[in-house]
Amino acid sequence: MQLFKNLFSKPLSTQLKVTSSNGFHLRPVARFTTLAKSFTCDVTASFNNKIVDAKKVNTLLSLSLEKENTFTLITQGKDAQKALDALQTLFEKLMKDDIEVTSIKKETSNYIGDILEGDIITKGVAIAPTTMYNTEIIQHENNLTFKEAVKQTIQSLEETYKSQKENSNADIYLAQKELLSALDEKCGSLEELETLIKKESHNLEGTKLSAKITDYQDILQQVKISLGLEVKVHFPEHAFILLADDLLPSEITLLSNTRVQGIVLKNTSINSHTSILLRAVGIPSLIANTKNIPLNKEILLDSFAGVVVLTPSNEDIQKARNLQEKTKEQKKYSDSKRFESASTTQGKQIKVFANVGDIESAKVAKDEGAEGIGLLRSEFLFKSVKPTLEAQTKAYAEIFETFDDITVRTLDVGGDKALPYLHIPLEDNPFLGIRGVRLFRTHPEILEEQLHAIFIASQGKQIKIMFPMVSTVEEFNKAKSFAQAIAQKQNIDISHIDFGIMIEVPSVLFLIEAFNEVVDFYSIGTNDLTQYLFAVERTHPLLKVDQLSPVVFSALKNIVTHATKPISICGELAANSDAIDKLVNLGLTTLSVSPKSIAQTKEQIRHV
């Protein structure tokens, strides 16, 4: 049957380049294989003369794809085209979203006692006696067979993944689930699983994928727990700093009911799943050689500075306590004032809005004290399947309920963001090709439906619509006329809607006077503006532009000097602690930032 299927369908293929410095590692691979499995066609990947099944985590990982490697994705069978398009889109997104933490910048310190340097996992300060991570294993009677225990573990990982789906760490559980499913096919007993994991771990030692060893151990431990194994950990009753070779990701939850103040791990990496989860729970942690740290003695962990003070003097302790207190107070203070407006020391009020991408992030923004939505990235609705008018209307209506002041941006795909059903001819320079407002020319039907949905959802609400990537006044005029024509065709009153542009293309810097005549507002997108000012792709793996370059500020000054309509800024620069005072001093009065940056942005404004 399979043979017939493949005999009569031609294989389709595409080249995919790994752009993340982390390589194509476990978490993105798990997301990729999960999607691949949803198609009936065969999905394979070929690299260095090796062809593997791309529906399985282990086989795909065995290609050891690193940054700059290009592999061929091949699909063959009934839904081959659909699979190829969807997998390509997902792969590009995974690469783009895979943020690498190379190292966390250390602050200077001047402690008197002996110091051990380390790499920062999570910033913070802890002062407490050390304790070594110690587990006691107890085997209970259990009626489950090995296969049943594996099934139960897979189910439990799946449940954890689903319950945390909104959370960026959820992929860790999906990755472990996929890994265990792949191992399950090869093992019939616990002994076989142990042997296989031992072998795989040995092969991974010293390679770029060595962080996966911890996931293997975690999986093994979880299967054993399903088989009746109890892992007892003895933590002191008093406050303590935990020393361990490494922790398994699943063991981090064991710490939640303890008095742990800080953690020092010997054998982990800054990007391991353990480190990612430690950052999520916020326990001050460091990677350092635990062998050099005395046991059961009070030490000082300052992971702002990336140091352990092994023999802290009274003065060191006092210094650390002050720092600890200051940090705690600062966070508590800015959090407590997050619902208050932010004014500078001169009494100038600055609005702090949120950049959101869907209803969940809009709700978080509300909780974090946002005063409105400065940028609703509408791309979230446009996934592998085209959203219907009804789905779009429902989603916008829900988000429009959250705040009184909302700016929604029309679809901004193209460039690095592809959509399977949006056919853009191959371009040599996609970032300079069809993207943003240029889609009005090439795909008017998609924009017509989107605007129609926004119009229905905004009835009775004062909202703003902005067009991305506008480069000429004519482009704006055409897009606005297009919107007005749709409103007329659908007989919807849009007199309550303001129309504006994102300032992202340098040509606009020289056209502000002309734009003043036609737009209702501006929003500065420094992410793209910087990319186009310096002609450096924002996703380029090697080339980086200084976001704080005087060139960027002089472009902003030019806008502020010449614009006569309200201006806000929604690029990443708006939340940059080294830029906020400069932006405010330039005269910007609305900063739109990610929800989690709202409290601290407001607090910083209060000191300008």
SS3 assignment, position 420: coil
Q: Find out whether 9 and 77 touch, Cβ atoms under 8 Å.
A: yes
Please, what is the Cα angle at 445 between 441 and 450, to 5 degrees?
A: 105
The catalytic position among 25, 41, 443, 570 is 570
Q: Find out whether 115 and 311 touch, Cβ atoms under 8 Å.
A: no
The site partner of 552 among ligand PEP, Mg ion, none (C-beta below 5 to 8 Å per kind) is none
| Mode of pairing for the β-strands spanning 125-132 and 298-302 | antiparallel
Q: Which stretch binds ligand PEP (CB under 6 A): 56-64, 110-118, 323-331, 526-534?
A: 526-534
Give me the least distance between CB of 378 and ligand PEP, in Å please.
10
Closer CB to Mg ion, 302 or 504, in the complex: 504
Give me the least distance between CB of 243 and ligand PEP, in Å please.
42
| Residue number, nearest CB to ligand PEP | 525
When asked if residue 374 is in the footprint of Mg ion (CB under 5 A), the reply is no
The site partner of 42 among Mg ion, ligand PEP, none (C-beta below 5 to 8 Å per kind) is none
Q: Which stretch binds ligand PEP (CB under 6 A): 276-284, 343-351, 385-393, 520-528?
A: 520-528
Closer CB to Mg ion, 32 or 431, in the complex: 431
DSSP 506-569: GGGGG-HHHHHTT-SEEEE-HHHHHHHHHT--TT-SS----TT-HHHHHHHHHHHHH--S-EEE
When asked if residue 539 is in the footprint of ligand PEP (CB under 6 A), the reply is no
Residue of the chain from 151, 208, 377, 478 that contacts ligand PEP (CB under 6 A): 377
| Mode of pairing for the β-strands spanning 229-233 and 135-139 | antiparallel
Q: Which helix (H) or strand (E) holds 201?
A: helix 190-204
SS3 assignment, position 307: strand
Q: Which helix (H) or strand (E) holds 258?
A: none
Give me the least distance between CB of 527 and Mg ion, in Å please.
5
Indicate if 41 belongs to the active site: no
Q: Find out whether 13 and 74 touch, Cβ atoms under 8 Å.
A: yes
The site partner of 414 among ligand PEP, Mg ion, none (C-beta below 5 to 8 Å per kind) is none
Residue with tokens 């000082």: 300
When asked if residue 504 is in the footprint of ligand PEP (CB under 6 A), the reply is yes
x-marked contacts with Mg ion along 510-549 as a string, rule CB under 5 A: ---------------x--x---------------------
- Give, as ranges, the residues between 393 and 452 that touch ligand PEP (CB under 6 A): 412
* Distance (Å, whole) CA 386 – CA 411: 12
The site partner of 526 among Mg ion, ligand PEP, none (C-beta below 5 to 8 Å per kind) is ligand PEP
Residue of the chain from 28, 500, 525, 595 that contacts ligand PEP (CB under 6 A): 525
C-alpha closest to that of 466 among 406, 511, 517: 406
* Distance (Å, whole) CA 458 – CA 483: 14
The catalytic position among 41, 187, 273, 452 is 273
The site partner of 419 among ligand PEP, Mg ion, none (C-beta below 5 to 8 Å per kind) is none
Question: Within the chain, what is the greatest distance between any pair of CA atoms?
Answer: 79
Q: Which stretch binds ligand PEP (CB under 6 A): 47-55, 449-457, 525-533, 583-591?
A: 525-533
Q: Find out whether 30 and 175 touch, Cβ atoms under 8 Å.
A: yes
Provide the angle, in degrees to the nearest 10, between the axes of the packed helices 146-163 and 190-204: 60
Indicate if 273 belongs to the active site: yes
Residue of the chain from 378, 528, 560, 602 that contacts ligand PEP (CB under 6 A): 528
x-marked contacts with Mg ion along 11-50 as a string, rule CB under 5 A: ----------------------------------------
CB atoms within 10 A of CB 155: 12
Q: Find out whether 457 and 393 touch, Cβ atoms under 8 Å.
A: yes
C-alpha closest to that of 209 among 376, 454, 26: 26
Q: Which stretch binds Mg ion (CB under 5 A): 46-54, 249-257, 502-510, 576-584?
A: 502-510
The site partner of 208 among ligand PEP, Mg ion, none (C-beta below 5 to 8 Å per kind) is none
End-to-end CA distance of the chain: 71
- Give, as ranges, the residues between 258 and 287 that touch Mg ion (CB under 5 A): none
Closer CB to ligand PEP, 243 or 375, in the complex: 375
C-alpha closest to that of 181 among 52, 40, 51, 29: 29
Closer CB to ligand PEP, 306 or 571, in the complex: 571
Give me the least distance between CB of 469 and ligand PEP, in Å please.
8
The site partner of 570 among ligand PEP, Mg ion, none (C-beta below 5 to 8 Å per kind) is ligand PEP
The site partner of 284 among ligand PEP, Mg ion, none (C-beta below 5 to 8 Å per kind) is none
Give me the least distance between CB of 353 and Mg ion, in Å please.
16
Q: What is the CA radius of gyration of the chain?
A: 27
* Distance (Å, whole) CA 30 – CA 148: 23
SS3 assignment, position 394: helix
Helices (H) then strands (E): counts for the chain: 20, 23
x-marked contacts with ligand PEP along 570-589 as a string, rule CB under 6 A: xx------------------
SS3 assignment, position 241: strand
Give me the least distance between CB of 527 and ligand PEP, in Å please.
3
Q: Rule CB under 6 A: which residues touch ligand PEP? A: 375, 377, 412, 504, 525-528, 570-571
Question: Which residues participate in catalysis according to the annotation?
Answer: 273, 570
Q: Which residues bind Mg ion (CB under 5 A)?
A: 504, 525, 528
